Amino acid sequence: MEKIKLRFRRLGYRIKHWFNQDRLIFVVAVSMCLIWTWGAISAMSRNWSLEQRLVSRRQELALLQLEIDSLELENRYYASEEYQELAARAKQNKLLEGESLVYLPENSDYARSKHKEIIVADEEVKEEPKNYEQWLSFIFGS
């Protein structure tokens, strides 16, 4: 029984001397600083995320505004007489006064092969100089 009393006395002494008024004030002050710091960091984090959302929404708004402007211009073009005339000429073969329509036959095999030979001949002539040759001509102006 004496040992138990002694242990309780020691515990009381430790509690009394470790948790005195100065240490209690220090613990409360440190905990308040930690709580304030945590709140400030969380507020800054929330503000940053809200700012990012605002920036992305503004970009979306600008993009949508550009799309609207583009569609309005397209609608004005489709309503113009120029487009209506071009569409009528393309779809209904309409002609202006003094114009005549000529239907040409499909190209023959001979015409297609001749055209391919001309293209191949042009490609052979069009050989580009090598990179170092281009640099030399650029530096020395030749």
Residue 92 lies in a domain: yes
Question: Average pLDDT in the 109-138 region?
Answer: 73
Q: Per the structure, how many domains does the chain have?
A: 1
Question: Average pLDDT in the 82-91 region?
Answer: 85
Residue 33 lies in a domain: yes
Residue 104 lies in a domain: no
Position 10 pLDDT exceeds 80: yes
Residue 124 lies in a domain: no
Position 125 pLDDT exceeds 60: no
Give the model's pLDDT for residue 111: 76
Give the model's pLDDT for residue 54: 97
Residue 140 lies in a domain: no
Token pair for 74 = 């397209």
Give the model's pLDDT for residue 31: 96
The percentage of the chain sitting over the pLDDT mark of 90, rounded to a whole number, equals 39
Instruction: Quick: pLDDT tens for 24-47.
Output: 899 899 999 999 999 999 999 999
Q: Report the distance separating Cα 58 and Cα 77, nearest Å.
A: 29
138 SS3 class: helix
Please provide the average confidence, as pLDDT, over all residues in the chain: 85
Residue 54 lies in a domain: yes
* pTM of structure: 0.45
Question: Average pLDDT in the 1-14 region?
Answer: 85
**DSSP string of 74-110, one letter each residue:** HHHHHHSHHHHHHHHHHHH----TT----PPPPPPHH
Contacts of 20 (CB under 8 A, 6+ apart): none
First to last CA, the chain: 112
Instruction: Quick: pLDDT tens for 51-62.
Output: 999 999 999 999
Confidence of residue 97 (pLDDT cuts 50, 70, 90): confident
Residue 6 lies in a domain: yes
| Residue found by looking up tokens 């309780």 in the block | 8
- Structural domain boundaries, residue 16: 2-99
